[in-house]
Structure 1
Amino acid sequence: MRRIVMFWLLLLMACAPFGVVNFAHTASASTAAARADRLPPYQPRFNRTRPVVVVVAENYYTELTDYVIPYGILTASDAADVIPLATEAGPIRMFPAPMNVIPQETTAQFDQRVPEGADYVIVPAVHRDDDPTLVSWVAGQAKKGATIVGVCDGVWVVARAGLLDGRRATGHWYSMSDLRKKFPRTHWVEGKRYVADGRVVTTTGVTATIPASFALVEAIAGHERATKLAESLGRQSWSSEIPSEEFHLGLASMMTIAGNYVSFWSHEDFGIPIAPDVDEISLVLKADVYSTTFRSTVYTVAASRDPIRSKRGLMIVPDRVAGVDAPSRMLPPPDSTQPLRALDESLKAVANDFGKRTAAWVALQMQYPGY
């Protein structure tokens, strides 16, 4: 989704070369800031001892971090049965890194196996956010009583499913203006990384999947368990607060976009080695950061093209084969020790490779505060 809007970003440069394009708005309701970060606690249904959590993709293109981070964190919690789904059989094509992930089952297969539905449905950003199969399935799960979690531009799917009318919601900073115009019956909130309104949760851009996932663990298994999990994965807190004023398209960002986008001759391919039991959290953060620079793309490299099972059970199809078509420049293997630290480490590495402005541009796209 982020790459698709780049044409318009470049057009904005031509239209506003001497100013700053600022899409930030002040939250219009003080009640939003006063709300607690905690999501509504999980209420068991259907005599389940653990909630059923699904992360659902659209096979054509789904945002990598949006899909894998919630899966990885919720699975690591061991507090829920987490199932990676897709609307169709076959691999899911990811972006911005061109990884391929094999879902456990399709939405139709899940419906046959679990007709009562999921307890939580996590909806990442997808390329075809008006896909009728995906939109209707999400709406159907909501009718069955599931809590719907739209992460990043997954909010478009949730809104098209009719689940945000009259509700408070948030989204990626770049999309907020269009969301307000398209869905005026929704109260769009800024200054929050995630917003819960009843059985619907929405988040800001890409990296908000991290605090939102811990908030879900807290809702399911309690604060102490979420705290221990966050510490073990390399994150100290999961506050919903975020200064929306940080996220806007300024002149420095526009110049970085233009310079990196037109420098196609200096584009670099990077490889990242993967093997069975690879830490998918660390992997996707590295791959996403390096594939969002407009100067580089990351490809997974393995001993063969056979699918690899990650540390927490996700099936990944390698992009390249070592010694055959692997990129000459390789990134370090994903580190499973506090894997969420890969985000800061990768931004630092991008700053070293391509400059601080490019790293700042990556953080802006991923809506990572404080960088």
Structure 2
Amino acid sequence: MCRPLLRIFLFVLLSLPMVERADAAPASATNPIHLPPLKAGRARPLIAIAADNAGTETTDLILPYGVLKEANIADVVIVSTHEGAVSLMPALTINPDMTMATFDTAHPGGADIVIVPALHDSSNATVIGWVREQSGKGAAVVAICEGAWIAARAGILDHRAATTHWYALDEITRRFPETHWIRNQRYVFDRNVMTTVGVSASIPASVALVEAIAGHAEAKAVAARIGIDSWTIAHETAPFHLTMGRMWAAGRNALAFWEHETLSIPVANGFDEIALALTADAWSRTYRSQAIAATGGGPIQSRHQLVLVPDRSAAKVSPQLQLPQAPSAKALDHALAGIAGRYGKTTADLVALQLEYARN
């Protein structure tokens, strides 16, 4: 999930009371996305992806970036709270394109679309204020996974329907009762604000944005290139829940520190940012392994100009993981199969649970 699973383990051990469940709602066939008109003087949308330098969820940020860049139907920039590299969680480090202050100076009218990933600090006042301002300037806001906390705290989910990661639904319902929290729907669009379920929803939600911007044919072409068949809202929340078996697996892996290992992923200029994000994210959620990127030098660029900052210790780390020679989105299935082979099916299922991903 978007926050460390060990939190859940301790949560259950301490027997804290559960808050009431969010309202259930059946998934319909579609949830049409109607984006606002482009700001004056623009030929195509300007999309800003918000990032907190101190901690931003890996796939929540990189997957929308990769999908939208692949479609090439918008200008996409990563904007950070301050200068310097952005630490992603649970893996990787990247360089942003600019700070929020620089973006505001360059684009006083604001973005057309703002994407908000889950952040390590979901109470970050800088990001909350910036998202609120962008929404006030007419930008559509897309909150990926627990990015919903930022949107809710910015006040832009009041009296709207929304969703988020399965684990956060109960707590966020209690904290923000003015929002109608939805289950069993992969993403929800309500009056210029889009929210999604867990981490794995970032790809279909991003393809849905492509469709809203450029039409169904373009979305279908992008989906085929990255390796997904569908980007509908269809989703079942019920399978994603805590069990004693899952809690035991999390605790066992976390506490068996003598079995922990660091795994490097060799990458070079032109690497597939979607495949890397899915691979590094999944392998860093086992509570037995941490994935790092090995570049053999300084910062390098992905095939869509994402700047990756290598881990300094990567050259000394083995064994190595390999990115699959397959469409980008297939990297998650490949990683889960590798995790099952190395650590067992229970650990692979634990990773899929955190990502809110229904394994094939």
TM-score band w.r.t. shorter chain? over 0.9
* Alignment gaps of 5+ in structure 1: none
The answer to whether the aligner puts 1:360 opposite 2:353 as a matched pair is no
Question: CA, structure 1 residues 136+35, in 2 after alignment: closer, same or farther (shift >3 Å)?
Answer: farther
TM-score, scaled relative to structure 2: 0.95
Q: 1:223 to 1:25 in 2, by over 3 A?
A: farther
Q: 1:234 to 1:35 in 2, by over 3 A?
A: closer
Matched residue type, 1:327: V
Residue matched to 2:44? 50
**Match status 1:319 vs 2:319:** no
SS at match of 1:269: strand
Q: Which amino acid aligns with 2:10?
A: L
Which of 328, 336, 360 is the equivalent residue of 2:318? Answer: 328
Once residues 92 and 110 of structure 1 are traced to their aligned partners in structure 2, the CA distance between those partners, rounded to angstroms, is 16
8 Å CA contact 1:25, 1:245 repeated in 2: no
Percentage of pairs with the same residue: 40
Instruction: Pick closer, same or farther for the CA change 1:36–1:24 going to 2, 3 Å.
Output: farther
Deviations 1:61-80 (CA, angstroms, capped at 9, x unpaired): 01000000000000100100
**Which residues of 2 match residues 13-162 of structure 1 at below 5 A?**
13=13, 15=15, 27-29=23-25, 33-34=27-28, 36-41=30-35, 43-97=37-91, 99-162=92-155
CA separation in 2, counterparts of 1:26 and 1:156? 15
Decide whether the 8 Å contact of 1:283 with 1:334 is kept in 2: no
Asked whether the 8 Å contact 1:25–1:244 carries over to 2, the reply is no
Q: Which amino acid aligns with 2:172?
A: L
Matched-pair contact (CA < 8 Å) for 1:73–1:213: yes
SS in 2 for 1:363: helix
How many residue pairs match? The answer is 360
Determine the structure 1 residue equivalent to 2:268. 275
**Displacement of 1:129 after TM fit?**
1.3
Separation in 2, partners of 1:195, 1:227: 20
Q: 1:23 to 1:68 in 2, by over 3 A?
A: farther
Q: For residues 195 and 3 of structure 2, what CA distance do their matches in structure 1 show?
A: 21
CA displacement at 1:132 relative to structure 2? 1.1
Matches of 2:18 and 2:339, distance apart in 1: 25
Looking at structure 1, the residues matched to 203 and 84 of structure 2 have their Cα atoms a distance apart, in angstroms, of: 27
1:164/1:44 CA distance change after superposition, 3 Å: same
Normalized against structure 1, the TM-score is what?
0.92
Structure 2 unpaired stretches of 5+? none
Moved over 6 A (4+): 21-24
Q: Report the 3-state secondary structure (helix = DSSP H, G, I; strand = E; otherwise coil) of the residue aligned with 1:118.
A: coil
Alpha-carbon distance in structure 1 between the residues aligned to 2:98 and 2:58: 18
- After TM superposition, give the deviation of residue 302 of structure 1 in Å: 1.3
Q: How large is the RMSD of aligned CA atoms in angstroms? A: 1.9
- Displacement after TM superposition at 1:194 (Å): 0.5
1:309: which partner in 2? 301
CA distance in structure 2 between the aligned counterparts of 1:115 and 1:231, rounded to whole angstroms: 36
Contact 2:28 2:233 in 1 (8 A): no
State how far apart, in whole Å, the 1-side matches of 2:243 and 2:249 are: 10
* Displacement of 1:334: 5.5
Query: Displacement, 1:14?
Result: 5.5
Q: Secondary structure at the match of 1:320?
A: coil
SS in 2 for 1:272: strand
* 2:316 alignment partner, SS class: coil
